[in-house]
Copies of this chain bind each other. A is one copy, B any other.
């Protein structure tokens, strides 16, 4: 994999031309794209041109010209944006999404659009897991996770409504960062659920996602040059613990043990019942909003929707405003409870997914360990580094307090380093 932070440093010191990084990406894409299928659209020639013409200007900006992949649910003028659906084949948005302009402002080069599952739901796309092409990369940010895992780009953008960043990051063995709700703007990103959709970042390691997010958001989020004090961690099994594979449970416990051995305070935390209610409320909120956000596609192109999304929307029609309002009240209560809960801890440690990447491309895994945290709006990081007996990645998830991104990222870095020891 390509470390965004390492490349940025070398470009910044004048040791590495931006064009060489574009070249490295092009090489990896040439070597692996046919097998992995991470991209929905790609323009290496334009990236090479930008790297040549604007090398100096780019090298002075925070992202230093680093090639970036953008999930194809995010509008771009330069690339077709199909939202993973034949309804939008060849569609050219009239403007870039806010976050795409922010990448350019930060000095990133968008080299292509990464595959999204259709409308960011659970029907599969074409992408395969670079760690084992017989397995799913997860979704919905399938191409972004796979492109980083295959060394095709140092940075890729994704979005998460349920578990669409953390789960594919876990399956592909890369770092994934879903910031607090609305830290990164979603204007120009196809809306699935306006209370849940969250933009985020994939990169090789925790320090890399922190670097990329800091550069894009223009915020103090980097964790690579701070003295990293041992965090206070709560191992949180959640009501879904029984759904996790033995290997995943062992991975989370191993991460907790490694963190403790490295000096972290680790204790267990059982979540109050309101969080189980909130996990249920998630589905109501997502479906109610999707039935409206995807109203045009459902009303005008229902027969061209893939089966799982169509099924979701068919069922969503019956959800009443009262049920939706009640679900939102549960979510609000759970958020308030979370804010007051265990103020003596910095972050939660919990699985990133129920299992390693399932075999085959059809089943993308379940977001059962992600939905609650997306609904809470809390920052989540997938920490890579552990594998199962077959060599497939098992990510562990660090969940921080709302708007405390840096604390969460620092704790994730600590766990990542502890695991690596």
Contacts and interface: CB of A to CB of B under 8 A. Distances in A.
Interface of A: 77, 88, 91, 93-98, 100-102, 104-105, 182, 185-188, 191, 194-195, 217-220, 289, 292-293, 295-297, 299-300, 321, 325, 403
A293 B185 contact: yes
Contact of A292 (B95, B187, B299): B187
Given A98-B295, A295-B102, A194 B218 contact: no
Contact of A296 (B77, B182, B289): B77
Contact of A185 (B88, B94, B98, B292): B292
Given A88-B94, A194-B182, A194-B186, A104 B321 contact: no
B296 A219 contact: no
A102 B292 contact: yes
A291 to B, nearest CB: 9
Contacts of A77: 296
B295 A191 contact: no
19 contacts: A88-B94, A95-B296, A95-B297, A96-B300, A98-B293, A98-B295, A98-B296, A100-B296, A102-B292, A105-B295, A185-B289, A185-B292, A185-B293, A187-B191, A187-B194, A187-B292, A188-B191, A218-B321, A325-B403
Task: Pick from A77, A220, A300 the residue with the most CB of B within 10 Å.
Answer: A300
A232 to B, nearest CB: 24
Contacts of A187: 191, 194, 292-293
Contact of A299 (B104, B191, B300, B325): B104
The winner among A185, A220, A295 for most chain B CB atoms within 10 A is A295
Nearest to A291: B98
6 residue pairs, one from A and one from B, having the closest CB atoms:
A101-B295, A187-B191, A95-B296, A96-B296, A187-B293, A98-B292
A299 B101 contact: yes
A287 to B, nearest CB: 14
Given A96-B295, A182-B195, A185-B293, 20 more contacts: A77-B296, A91-B94, A95-B296, A95-B297, A96-B296, A96-B300, A97-B296, A98-B293, A98-B296, A101-B295, A101-B296, A101-B299, A182-B194, A185-B289, A185-B292, A187-B191, A187-B292, A187-B293, A218-B321, A220-B321
Nearest to A88: B94
Contacts of A105: 295, 299
A321 to B, nearest CB: 5
A34 to B, nearest CB: 30
Contacts of A185: 191, 194, 289, 292-293
A206 B299 CA distance: 30
Nearest to A403: B325
Contacts of A102: 292, 295
